[in-house]
Chain A
């Protein structure tokens, strides 16, 4: 197979393209199924959440990252380990609030939107909203309630993509009722 040699190098790229394209197909389908963009955004977030609650286990198993001391450490782990591992990018962590409970992830590039242009009639669609859900779901499984939203998006003409994360509270582990 003479052809094989020049193809094998592309394998890695192909794989992220598979994910990107599949995600694109999903968003397209959602846009067909729902009447307005808000519903689509909500659905994407929900699906992300479902992925996040499962992904965290995969993440902990693969990364062997231990317990984080504070929210700053969590932010670093998300940016430098998690994003690197799953999307191959390392967003920068900036814009900390004075109280240290809120920060921004700045994504220079976003693999999810590699082949995407938003048509005019979907101006309120938050295309990558899945990511917010993933982050929320994953952190909930490690006892952190957070609020995640897109503050800027290159798809809508901003220079960078910015995800804003706000720490809400620590989730106390509740024993099931009647269990001692």
Chain B
């Protein structure tokens, strides 16, 4: 089934819509947070359905591994390429060929637009983690497309 393509088209439309609905000076921040919120809800739903028959996670790292492997494979058809942590609640997930940036030109020209294409995914991860009992802040950065890094900061409860 080719529904991946469908998701990508839908994702692009969502970005397009949110972006056109928010205009003015604060436009970019508002747009990103709206997308992030949408992703959050989707992440919650996905993880809930995905983990309903599985064993309990051992610890935080186990949860992160799950996000990097199973979750990422399902959503983006590949695993996270690199996971780093400082063992103090900060994790960096690196994807060298992030699917939602893959359709954009790899040069510097559209680098400014990258945050819009990552916001939904940030929310997806935050929502997923939140439903697994891990409260976090997720941000993303891109230096060279289509590679990107997601930074997950765990909020201790």
Contact = CB atoms under 8 A, between A and B. Distances in A.
Contacts of A25: 38-39, 41-42
B157 interface: no
A37 interface: no
Interface stretch (A8-16, A98-106, A121-129): A8-16
Interface in B18-48: 18, 21, 34, 38-39, 41-42, 45-46
Given A15-B4, A87-B3, A3 B9 contact: no
A51 B2 contact: no
A3 B117 CA distance: 31
A61 to B, nearest CB: 10
A10 B73 CA distance: 11
B7 A29 contact: no
Interface string B123-145: 00000000000000000000000
A88 B42 CA distance: 21
B5 A58 contact: yes
Interface of A: 1, 3-4, 6-7, 10-12, 14-19, 21-26, 28-30, 33, 43, 47, 50-51, 54-55, 58, 62, 85-88, 115
